[in-house]
């Protein structure tokens, strides 16, 4: 059975595609060095459209309505501008409801494009542009440490890593922060109250890497202008030992946090990258492996959610679990020495 990967790697080659949601213009070039905040592509598209039924409003046939049009495809119109005017002593009129652009005009109708959005795609990681994907984006390569998470608030930024967590189950609160941490990425522990997130915004920091977050704080975390990445989940879950060790030993290094939303279908998840100078390029990491005895794994579901362990044995066929369900399972020895039977679907390989 194929195993999903949870990456906590001290040194690896990281390749990431950065793509626009629609076709646009790519600004970066192959070989260009980029930082996480650099704009690599941009696009403009309309969020709203308005369909004006000219023939129905003027009470004429579509063919006659087309002769009454005052605009053509490609025209930009202001709010209240004449789109079509009927005939007679007191002619009916059709006006633009808002400023926009005429996309289609004909067959008795006019389609207006309203409320355009200009979107800038940022690199979201430091590295080198290895490939330009025409009209869509770029492929970026970086070399360094990679630490992935399980939830992010959709933002990205970079700064110096400051460690405020003495141990994996430390509580993160606002009392530990001051103005000297302005512009830093903070490594915290378990966040239980809103004040800590608000103080971080007031400092302001450039990001938080937390072990876990109380579910009631999710709406506030989504509103924060800085990235927030959780390494282990919601509630009161300590940071897994692999992530805590790698992050805490790299304090005072420059780190990039891309707290994008977890999407297992596209294999994207929130992650932190610490670029490192190396003379030999390490091999890229794999996103899938096959479960084997001896692998270090992370449990994805309660009661030991977030715990690390190693596979002692892979059970043949289907095993009966304490819940009564039957599933492909493995015996896992946790870091505390306890042996547990875990369904394979609740495991991910650490590496």
Predicted local confidence at residue 282, as pLDDT: 86
Pairing of strands 8-19, 137-148: antiparallel
Q: How far apart are CA 35 and CA 170, in angstroms?
A: 31
Looking at the fold, whether 166 and 261 belong to one and the same domain comes out as yes
CB 193 within 8 A of CB 212: no
Looking at the fold, whether 149 and 267 belong to one and the same domain comes out as yes
Sequence-separated contacts (24+) of 116-120 with Cβ below 8 Å:
116/44, 116/45, 116/46, 116/47, 117/44, 117/45, 117/46, 117/47, 118/42, 118/43, 118/44, 119/20, 119/21, 119/24, 119/42, 119/43, 119/44, 119/45, 120/39, 120/41, 120/42
The reply to whether 72 falls in a domain is yes
Predicted local confidence at residue 265, as pLDDT: 67
Three-class SS of residue 94?
strand
DSSP H helices, the chain, are: 54-58, 62-67, 194-202, 218-223, 241-248
Looking at the fold, whether 182 and 224 belong to one and the same domain comes out as yes
Ranges under pLDDT 50 in the chain: none
* Of the residues 231, 250, 275, the one at which a domain ends: 275
Looking at the fold, whether 261 and 151 belong to one and the same domain comes out as yes
The reply to whether 224 falls in a domain is yes
The reply to whether 26 falls in a domain is no
CB 164 within 8 A of CB 260: no
The reply to whether 281 falls in a domain is no
The reply to whether 34 falls in a domain is no
Cβ neighbours around 51 below 10 Å, total: 10
Looking at the fold, whether 91 and 173 belong to one and the same domain comes out as no
Q: How far apart are CA 308 and CA 292, in angstroms?
A: 15
Looking at the fold, whether 295 and 264 belong to one and the same domain comes out as no
* Of the residues 209, 240, 275, the one at which a domain ends: 275
Tally of domains in the chain: 3
CA distances from 280 to 143, 272, 277, 283 (A): 10, 22, 9, 10
Question: Which candidate, 212, 282, 197, 207, places its Cα nearest to that of 9?
Answer: 282
- Radius of gyration of the chain from its Cα atoms, rounded to whole angstroms: 27
Q: Report pTM.
A: 0.79
The reply to whether 296 falls in a domain is yes
Q: How far apart are CA 261 and CA 218, in angstroms?
A: 13
Looking at the fold, whether 184 and 271 belong to one and the same domain comes out as yes
CA distances from 211 to 189, 241, 301 (A): 5, 11, 15
For residue range 38-51, list pLDDT tens digits in order.
999 999 877 788 99
Q: Provide the domain limits for residue 202.
A: 7-13+143-275
CB 297 within 8 A of CB 308: yes
Predicted local confidence at residue 266, as pLDDT: 67
Q: How far apart are CA 232 and CA 307, in angstroms?
A: 9
Q: What's the CATH code of the domain at 80? A: 2.40.50
Predicted local confidence at residue 54, as pLDDT: 93
The reply to whether 284 falls in a domain is no
Three-class SS of residue 38?
coil
- The tokens describing 276, both together, are 């490192």
CB 14 within 8 A of CB 127: yes
Looking at the fold, whether 267 and 310 belong to one and the same domain comes out as no
Looking at the fold, whether 237 and 299 belong to one and the same domain comes out as no
Predicted local confidence at residue 284, as pLDDT: 80
Looking at the fold, whether 295 and 219 belong to one and the same domain comes out as no
Q: Is 268 exposed, middle or buried (0-12, 13-18, 19+ CB in 10 A)?
A: middle
Site of tokens 């004040």: 195
Question: Which candidate, 111, 110, 108, places its Cα nearest to that of 63?
Answer: 108
CA dihedral of residues 255, 285, 279, 183 (deg, nearest 10) = 0
The reply to whether 136 falls in a domain is no
Looking at the fold, whether 246 and 204 belong to one and the same domain comes out as yes
Q: Is 349 exposed, middle or buried (0-12, 13-18, 19+ CB in 10 A)?
A: buried
Q: What's the CATH code of the domain at 311? A: 2.30.30.30
Q: What's the CATH code of the domain at 264? A: 3.50.30.10
Q: In 78-205, where do the E strands start and end?
A: 82-85, 93-95, 100-106, 109-122, 127-133, 137-148, 151-152, 156-163, 171-172, 184-187, 190-191
* Of the residues 117, 152, 174, the one at which a domain ends: 117
Q: How far apart are CA 28 and CA 19, in angstroms?
A: 12
Looking at the fold, whether 72 and 162 belong to one and the same domain comes out as no
For residue range 83-140, list pLDDT tens digits in order.
999 988 888 899 999 888 898 999 999 999 887 788 899 998 999 999 999 999 999 9
Q: How far apart are CA 61 and CA 4, in angstroms?
A: 61
């Amino acid at each position: 059975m194929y195993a999903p990967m949870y990456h906590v790697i001290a040194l690896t080659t990281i390749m990431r595609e950065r793509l626009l949601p629609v076709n646009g213009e790519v600004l970066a070039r192959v070989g260009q060095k980029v930082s996480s905040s650099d704009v690599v592509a941009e696009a403009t598209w309309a969020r709203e459209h308005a369909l004006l039924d000219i023939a129905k409003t003027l009470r004429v046939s579509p063919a006659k309505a087309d002769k009454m049009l005052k605009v053509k495809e490609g025209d930009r119109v202001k709010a209240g501008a004449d789109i079509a005017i009927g005939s007679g002593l007191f002619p009916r009129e059709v006006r633009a409801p808002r400023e926009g652009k005429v996309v289609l005009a004909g067959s008795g109708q006019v389609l207006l494009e309203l409320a355009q959005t200009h979107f800038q795609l940022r690199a979201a990681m430091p590295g080198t542009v290895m490939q330009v994907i025409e009209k869509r984006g770029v492929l970026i390569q970086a070399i360094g440490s990679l630490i992935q998470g399980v939830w992010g608030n959709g933002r990205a930024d970079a700064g110096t890593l400051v460690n405020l967590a003495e141990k994996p189950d430390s509580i993160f609160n606002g009392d530990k922060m001051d103005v000297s941490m302005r512009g830093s990425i903070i490594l915290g522990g378990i966040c239980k109250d809103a004040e800590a997130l608000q103080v971080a915004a007031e400092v302001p920091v450039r990001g938080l890497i937390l072990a876990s977050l109380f579910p009631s704080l999710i709406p506030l975390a989504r509103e924060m202008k800085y990235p927030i990445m959780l390494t282990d989940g919601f509630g009161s879950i300590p940071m897994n030992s692999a992530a805590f060790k790698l992050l805490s030993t790299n304090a005072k290094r420059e780190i990039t946090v891309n707290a994008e939303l977890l999407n297992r279908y596209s294999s994207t998840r929130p992650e932190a990258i610490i670029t490192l100078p190396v003379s030999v390029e390490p091999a890229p990491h794999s996103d899938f492996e096959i479960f084997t005895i001896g692998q270090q794994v992370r449990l994805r579901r309660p009661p030991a959610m977030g715990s690390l362990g190693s596979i002692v044995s892979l059970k043949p066929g289907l095993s009966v679990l304490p819940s009564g369900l039957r599933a492909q399972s493995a015996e896992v020895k946790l870091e505390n020495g306890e042996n547990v039977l875990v369904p394979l679907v609740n495991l991910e390989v650490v590496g």
